Amino acid sequence: MRVLLVEDDELLGSAVQAGLVQAGYTVDWVHDGVDAAQSLTFDGHDLLVLDLGLPRKDGLTVLRELRQRGSDLPVLILTARDAVEDRVRGLDLGADDYLIKPFDLDELTARLRAIGRRRAGRSSLSIRHGNLEFDPAARNLTLDGEAVPLHAKAIAILEALLECRGRALTREQLEQMLYGWGEGVESNTVEVYIHHLRKQLGKELIHTIRGVGYMIPKEK
Q: Which residues bind Ca ion (CB under 5 A)?
A: 8, 51, 53
Q: What is the length of the chain?
A: 220
**8 vs 65 by CB, closer to Ca ion:** 8
**26 vs 79 by CB, closer to Ca ion:** 79
Q: Shortest gap between Cβ of 138 and Ca ion (angstroms)? A: 31
**27 vs 78 by CB, closer to Ca ion:** 78
Which 8-state DSSP code applies to residue 185?
A: P
**101 vs 167 by CB, closer to Ca ion:** 101
Peptide bond preceding 217 in cis form (omega within 30 of 0): no
Q: Which residue is nearest to Ca ion (CB)?
A: 53
CA atoms within 13 A on the CB side of 194: 21
Nearest to 28 by CA among 192, 196, 178: 178
How far is it, in rounded angstroms, from Cα 21 to Cα 205? 27
Nearest to 19 by CA among 8, 9, 27, 30: 27
Sheet holding 47-51, edge to edge: 26-30, 2-6, 47-51, 75-79, 97-100
**81 vs 199 by CB, closer to Ca ion:** 81
Q: Shortest gap between Cβ of 78 and Ca ion (angstroms)? A: 8
